[in-house]
Amino acid sequence: MGMFNYVNWIMKCPKCGNSIYDFQTKDGDLTLRTVEFCEVDNFYSSCNKCGTNVEYTLKPEIRKLITIDYYNLEVR
C-alpha cells in the first residue's frame, strides 16, 4: 500500500452535489499527516456517492510568481 498525506479540503461534487472530503496527496513527506491544500501542488479524491474523480493541480504559472518575499527569513 502506498503512502500519502491527507489534505484538509471539502468541496461539493460537480456532478451530484455530495460533499467530497477524503482528499489525498503524494506531495511531501508522505507520513499520513493532514496538510493544508496550499502546502501541496496536487491533490485528489472521488465522490462516495457517484464515483466522480476530482483532482486539483497547481497551475505552473502560479509557481513562477512566487518570489523570495513570500518566505520568512530566519537567522540562527
- For the entire predicted model, the pTM comes to 0.81
- Count CA atoms within 13 Å of residue 23 on its CB side: 25
The three three-digit cell numbers of residue 27, written as one number:
506531495
CA angle (29 as vertex; 27, 30 as ends), nearest 5: 75
| Residue 53 forms part of a structural domain | yes
C-beta of residue 54 within 8 angstroms of C-beta of residue 14: yes
In this structure, what DSSP letter does residue 38 have? Answer: G
In tens, the pLDDT along 26-45 reads: 998 999 999 999 899 999 99
Can you give the pLDDT at residue 67? 83
Q: Which domain holds residue 36?
A: 5-70
- At residue 1 the predicted structure's pLDDT band, cuts being 50, 70 and 90, is low
Q: Is residue 24 part of a domain?
A: yes
Which amino acid, 17?
G
Q: What is the CATH number of the domain that holds 34?
A: 2.20.25
- How many distinct structural domains can be found in the chain? 1
Per-residue confidence band for 69, with pLDDT thresholds at 50, 70 and 90? confident
What percent helix, strand, coil does the chain show, rounded to 5?
Answer: 15, 30, 55
pLDDT band for 75, please (50, 70, 90 cuts). Answer: confident
